[in-house]
Structure 1
Amino acid sequence: MNTLYFFLLVVLSNGVLSENTPIVLWHGMGDSCCFSFSLGAFQKKLNESLGGVYIYSIQIGDNIIEDVENSFFKYPLDQLNETCETLSADPALVNGFNAIGFSQGGQFLRGLVQRCPTIKMKNLITLGAQHQGVYGLPRCGALPFEICNSLRKILSQFAYNRYVQDILVQATYWHDPINEETYKHESAYLGEINNERNINQDYIERLQSLENLVMVKFINDTMVQPVESEWFGFYKPGQALETETLQQSSLYTDDRLGLKKMDEESKLHFLEVEGDHLRFPWIWFEENIIEKFLK
């Protein structure tokens, strides 16, 4: 009876009493769970479109300032452990939930489903997530190629330093295609959740437990290099000019994450939308995400 009371209290406190599957959100770099101009506004529109739904927006830290800081400086696997405990203890989520990840929040939610056996994630929607990492600075495309290329080579000299990996979140998904072995062994987050060093069968089975993995790529994205990472693609190994799709990559052909099987079962969905990073018309989101995966 106490559990039921607490469940109703949680749901009613969010102004929601509906049959819609609950939704978990994870914001991106430099954002917070609840800013009125970002995820706060997104939650409001989501509630309006669904006619009411329980939404839990992940906050790492005791307040929104800490949440923003932790998006840069808190070790990702520690963030996953904390979030695993929080979501597992939420009675409103016990029967399962859908999840939407914004930018790096997308690959964090994917890591969560792979590493947290006590949650039941149904559909995972990633918006501009860097599933194969990044090799380039945000908005560097506006500069001459030679300058951007020199900058990323310099960054690669420091990104895999153990101290840098421990204190800078974005370094943990820096992916240098020219030095693949260094990336595989020194990337503290992406190398781990992409099964680059060892094959963790639990990661494969838990990822395959998803009903759908929906990946949204922003055609005019200036933040993510290469943008193909948003669809699990990346640069071909050994160079940083020509890209390959997920299906052309060793991650797929060796099936290190079980993505090939998911693709064959039509669980992978590759969507694209005009616009820069995380910019999309709401009508597009309603038609392509809400109607197909959240209702």
Structure 2
Amino acid sequence: MMETLQVLRGSLLLLLLVAGVCIEGYKPVIIVHGLFSGPEEYHTLIDNIKKAHPGTEVNAISLYNYAESTVPLKEQVKGFTKVLTDIMNKNPDGIHLLCYSQGGEICRGLLSTIPNHNVDTFIALSSPLAGQYGATKFLKWLVPKKWVYLICNTVGSKISICDYWKDPHHMTDYLKNNQYLTLLDGEKPNKDMEAWRNNFLRLKKLVLIGGPDDEVITPWQSSHFGFYDSNERIVEMRNQEFYKKDKFGLKTMDDRGDVSVCVRAGVRHLKWHSDQAVFNSCIEKWLT
């Protein structure tokens, strides 16, 4: 009789555990769009997530869309903070951030400045994380890239791209005038840097996705925190000063095994969020 009761109790416990897993489901996925973009362009990505993980709540935030995406990133971070904080409060078990292109820079700002955030995984999808020097599809017809730093030095942080434009031939001007990426990277004095670093390290996983045929993110290795030196030779992530000095926690995350790098060839910039192979190999497994 006692053995029968123990078996019944064990079976009941197993059923409750299974039920708990089914009820809990997958963490919500929040998508932050890129420059000159909006949530309407992410239907394929949303469908892929829901097909792979049925029942997942997916929210492509509708904020600073299209032309408004050129608003300075500090202002955008403030706006996204209000929306994201509300979502996090409703999901105490955590969420995932999937941020495309310029959205990756916005998400870096969010993860650094929101205290006690509960973001589990940050997926940066073809984002200029270490800066941008050249946007062939958007700028070459308008102004040569070697002049963009002059414009950014003049207008300051009044246009979003200036917040992460990084001319390797004019680093003194960049370090002096940039008021966004330099702060996130800890390259200039910032009284909040320790708090920002602790906030960033609340992440459980950082996923970096990019590839050599992007044609917009320049250099494409910026999507993996690599960038040019003054001779336009690539300095990989682990040789960057902000990594070696562990300014914002990237080295700590890497040392604990929580940085994943995914390289995909043959993917153009505007196709990353709709490419099935990219989703299958670089994204799906992290959204649990």
Aligned residues: 260
CA shift, 1:279, in A, is 2.5
1:258 aligned to 218, 237, 249, which one? 249
Answer with 189-198 or 126-135: which moved more. Answer: 189-198
The answer to whether the 8 Å contact 2:48/2:279 transfers is no
Equivalent residue runs for 1:88-107 within 5 Å: 88-90=85-87, 91-107=89-105
Residue in 2 that maps onto 1:114: 112
Q: C-alpha separation between the residues in 1 aligned to 2:227 and 2:118?
A: 29
Post-superposition Cα deviations, 1:23-64, rounded to whole Å, max 9, x if no partner, equal 11001111102x1xx213321221122112111212225xxx
Structure with higher Rg: it is: 2
Residue 160 of structure 1 aligns with an amino acid whose one-letter code is N
- Paired with 2:107 and 2:173, the residues of 1 have a C-alpha distance of 25
In structure 1, the partner of 2:227 is 234
Offset at residue 206 of structure 1 (A) = 1.3
Q: Percent identity over the alignment?
A: 21
CA distance in 1 between partners of 2:35 and 2:24 (Å): 31
Specify the alignment match of 1:126 in structure 2. Answer: 124
Aligned to 1:288: 282
Q: Choose from 267, 271, 279 the match for 2:271.
A: 279
Deviation, structure 1 residue 268: 1.0
The within-5 A match list for 1:195-210 is 195-198=186-189, 200-210=193-203
1:126-165 to 2 correspondence within 5 Å? Answer: 126-139=124-137, 151-161=144-154, 164-165=155-156
Match of 2:57 among 49, 54, 58: 54
Question: CA shift at 1:278, angstroms?
Answer: 4.5
Question: Is there any run of 5+ residues in structure 2 with no aligned partner, and where?
Answer: 1-22
Alignment correspondent of 2:36: 30
Q: Distance in 1 between matches of 2:91 and 2:37?
A: 24
Deviation track 1:88-145 (CA, whole Å, cap 9, x = no partner) reads 123433331001001010121121011111531110001110011111132499x9xx
My pick for the range that moved more, 94-103 or 81-90, is 81-90
Q: CA RMSD in A?
A: 2.3
Match of 1:19 among 6, 14, 25: 25
SS in 2 for 1:196: coil
Deviation per CA, 1:193-220, whole angstroms, max 9, x where unpaired?
1211125011211111111110001221
The alignment partner of 1:178 has SS state of: coil
The verdict on how the C-alpha distance between 1:86 and 1:247 changes in structure 2, with shifts beyond 3 A counting, is same
Structure 1 alignment gaps of length 5 or more: 1-16, 62-66
| TM-score w.r.t. length of structure 2 | 0.83
Q: Bigger relative contact order, structure 1 or 2, given CA contacts below 8 A and separation 6+?
A: 2
Partners of 2:109 and 2:215 lie apart in 1 by 24
